[in-house]
Structure 1
Amino acid sequence: METREPIAELLSSLEQIVLSHQHKTLPEAVHVTVMPEPKKIRERSGMEVEQFASALGVSVSSVRRWESHAARPSGSAQKLLQLLHTNPLLYKQLVS
């Protein structure tokens, strides 16, 4: 039996929430071609940097580095940012 990383489980669950809300089925392969700006996503959510970092499960310094373009989010963080970009309802679920 294969074990999965906790973040992979979280992302899979979030995808299912998004897709069930939109009444769509999961495609065989999902390709994210454009990485939305973390700062724009955070500002759209109305969150402060500290709240946003907590909701994503990352450090405040990571969010600040992403927003200043000093670093790129990890692959799993990029996927979560993409989900937040496409479905604003996830903000409330992440902070509650």
Structure 2
Amino acid sequence: MPVTTPVSDLPNLVRTLRERLGLSQEKLAASLGVSFQTVNRWERGRAKPSQLALNAIEQKLAEMGVQGSDLLYKYFKQQ
């Protein structure tokens, strides 16, 4: 499902997901199949996640259950 929030909010999504999972940028990158530099650029707002990466982020939020449900709703609202 497409992201329903402004691109300017994506750094917050990535950072909050990483913090809730208790992961470093390196570990989140590995779990999403991207480089540390990519996650770092996402969090700094210098790049935005590809649709494939957004799908992986959405899946991670869904797997988190209640802990990720607010982010899932905010960023990936079910129509």
Q: Compute the TM-score of the two structures, normalised by the length of structure 1.
A: 0.55
> Greater relative contact order (Cα 8 A, min sep 6): structure 1 or 2?
2
- d(CA) in 1 for partners of 2:56, 2:24: 18
- Please point out which of 57, 81, 93 is paired with 2:57: 81
Amino acid at match of 1:81: I
Residue aligning to 2:4:
33
Give the corresponding residue for 1:53.
29
Stretches of 4+ aligned residues off by more than 3 angstroms: none
How far apart are the structure 1 equivalents of 2:44 and 2:4?
21
Relative to structure 1, the CA distance from residue 33 to residue 46 in structure 2 (aligned partners, 3 Å threshold; closer, same or farther) is: same
Q: Which stretches in structure 2 are left out of the alignment for 5+ residues?
A: 66-79
Aligned position for 1:72: 48
Question: 1:32 offset after TM fit, Å?
Answer: 3.9
Q: Which has the higher helix share?
A: 2
Identical positions, percent? 33
Once residues 31 and 49 of structure 1 are traced to their aligned partners in structure 2, the CA distance between those partners, rounded to angstroms, is: 23
Once residues 78 and 59 of structure 1 are traced to their aligned partners in structure 2, the CA distance between those partners, rounded to angstroms, is 15
Label 1:52 to 1:31 Cα distance change in 2 as closer, same or farther (>3 A). closer
Q: What is the CA distance between 1:85 and its match in structure 2?
A: 1.9
* Matched length: 60
Q: CA RMSD in A?
A: 1.9
Q: What residue identity is the alignment partner of 2:53?
A: A
